[in-house]
Homo-oligomer: A and B are copies of this chain.
Amino acid sequence: MKFEEKQRQYIKTVEDSLAESIKLENPYYPSLRAAMEYSLMAGGKRLRPVLALAVAEMLEKDIRDVLAFACSIEMIHTYSLIHDDLPAMDNDDYRRGKLTNHKVFGEATAILAGDALLNLAYENMIEDAIASKNSRKLEAMGIIAKYAGAQGMIGGQAIDLDSEGKSIPEDKLKAMHRLKTGALIKAPVEAAAVISGANDNEFRLLSGFAANLGLAFQIKDDILDVEGSMDNMGKKPGSDALSLKTTYVTMYGLEEASNLLRNVTDEGVSYLQSFGERAHFLRDLAISLVKRNS
């Protein structure tokens, strides 16, 4: 099957499951549910859950074994975007070409919708772990929780916050991205590997792939911020430069950042070698991320 067709299949599986998860029945708080749904069902590449499904399938497991966890990671990603866009944080009015959550539902509901999506991620993982009796799911949940928390993604957001309007050293820039973006890209790969019963070597290789993929993703984001257009990004380009953020482009220049992007992607893909033909989707996915224009 062609990459794009398989990707569309994975995305549809994820979106059907997300739509199912978000059904809350309570007549008293329709706006909370609407706000959660607005951001969760806003489309996008669904990179994180797609990674989880692809890893499970590559390891010759049923993708339904990892679907709940894959969707929970998308919920965690979505909540982080809602909170990141708030006026007190990045103060963004648009996300993927749509008004941000707080612009539609107000700040208070946006805060609660983010909280509720984070909590729902755990509700669904726990429910799935109880139902499946696969004891590795508890371990996978621990991996996701660590990468999502203060020593993972939230830690990265805190570094980002602390770095605004400042020039920051390279090690801090790298730590920020490793945590803020990288952690939640490693999470679905490692969690799916664990649930699928990957052996130590397979786990190590997949983790290496994911670490490089996360870094490549961030470098590309920084490049797109300079090169991108409003049409493609759904937000104003150059917003990093406007806020005086240190990025891979401000640190290395556009050309060197582009070289770094290629090298990091190549290194990531090299981790997939021993999986052979089975890894073709993950390989194509890594390459598609380098080529993306939004």
Judging by beta carbons under 8 Å apart, are A159 and B29 in contact? yes
Partner of A150, one of B120, B139, B154: B120
Judging by beta carbons under 8 Å apart, are B142 and A112 in contact? no
Instruction: Please report the total number of A residues contacting B with Cβ < 8 Å.
Output: 52
B contact residues around A107 at 8 Å (CB) = 88
DSSP class of A's interface residues: helix, strand, loop or mixed? Answer: helix
Rounded to whole angstroms, the CA-CA distance of A235 and B114 in the bound complex is 27
B contact residues around A89 at 8 Å (CB) = 108, 111
Judging by beta carbons under 8 Å apart, are A150 and B116 in contact? yes
Q: A159-B29, A172-B28 are in contact. Are A154 and B123 (CB under 8 A)?
A: no
Q: How many copies does the complex hold?
A: 2
Rounded to whole angstroms, the CA-CA distance of A24 and B149 in the bound complex is 11
Judging by beta carbons under 8 Å apart, are B123 and A142 in contact? yes
Rounded to whole angstroms, the CA-CA distance of A130 and B137 in the bound complex is 10
B contact residues around A155 at 8 Å (CB) = 24, 26, 28-29, 32, 116
Judging by beta carbons under 8 Å apart, are B142 and A127 in contact? yes
Q: A32-B150, A151-B26, A176-B28 are in contact. Are A130 and B139 (CB under 8 A)?
A: yes
B contact residues around A99 at 8 Å (CB) = none
B contact residues around A158 at 8 Å (CB) = 28-29, 31-32, 109, 112
CB distance from A69 to the nearest CB of B (A): 13
